[in-house]
């Protein structure tokens, strides 16, 4: 990915209602009385001084998802997503279309 683990950690720690642990695990929640809340859970993995991959589950707005990905170097890095239940890898556009159909 397009940044180091430490850089992603710093960016994620600056997000409101984000809990980021030194081992790379995180929980990010949003609660708003006027809207439905959401939550993302995940783990970041590094290798050779760079952020290598992220395991993310949950549900959030597209804006929040963009914010999360930006903390990991997107859009300067092309991303590949694994849909574990479907056992396939897809590009970002296909993932967003898949996620939109799940709502």
| pLDDT tens by residue, 65-75 | 999 999 998 99
pLDDT of residue 16: 93
**51, 3 in Cβ contact below 8 A?**
yes
Give the number of domains in the chain. Answer: 1
Classify residue 69 by burial, with Cβ atoms within 10 Å: 0-12, 13-18, 19+: middle
**Is 56 in a helix, a strand, or coil?**
strand
Q: How confident is residue 31, by pLDDT bands cut at 50, 70 and 90?
A: confident
The pLDDT of 73-100, averaged and rounded, is 92
CATH classification at residue 16:
3.30.310
User: What is the chain's mean pLDDT, rounded?
Assistant: 91
- Whole-model pTM: value is 0.87
Q: Is residue 16 part of a domain?
A: yes
Instruction: Indicate whether 91 belongs to any domain.
Output: no
Is the pLDDT confidence value at 63 over 70? yes
Asked whether 44 and 54 are in contact (CB, 8 A), the reply is: yes
Does 35 score more than 70 pLDDT? no
63 is in which domain, residue-wise?
5-75
Q: Let me know if residue 15 belongs to a domain.
A: yes
| pLDDT at res. 36 | 72
């Amino acid at each position: 990915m397009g940044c180091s683990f430490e850089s992603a950690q710093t960016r994620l720690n600056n997000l409101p209602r984000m809990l980021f642990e030194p081992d790379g695990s995180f929980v990010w929640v949003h609660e708003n009385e006027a809207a439905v809340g959401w939550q993302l859970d995940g783990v970041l993995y590094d290798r050779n001084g760079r952020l290598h991959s992220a395991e993310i589950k949950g549900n959030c707005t597209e804006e929040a998802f963009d914010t999360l990905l930006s903390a990991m170097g997107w859009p300067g890095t092309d991303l590949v997503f694994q849909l574990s239940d479907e056992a396939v890898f897809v590009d970002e556009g296909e993932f967003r279309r898949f996620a939109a159909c799940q709502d």
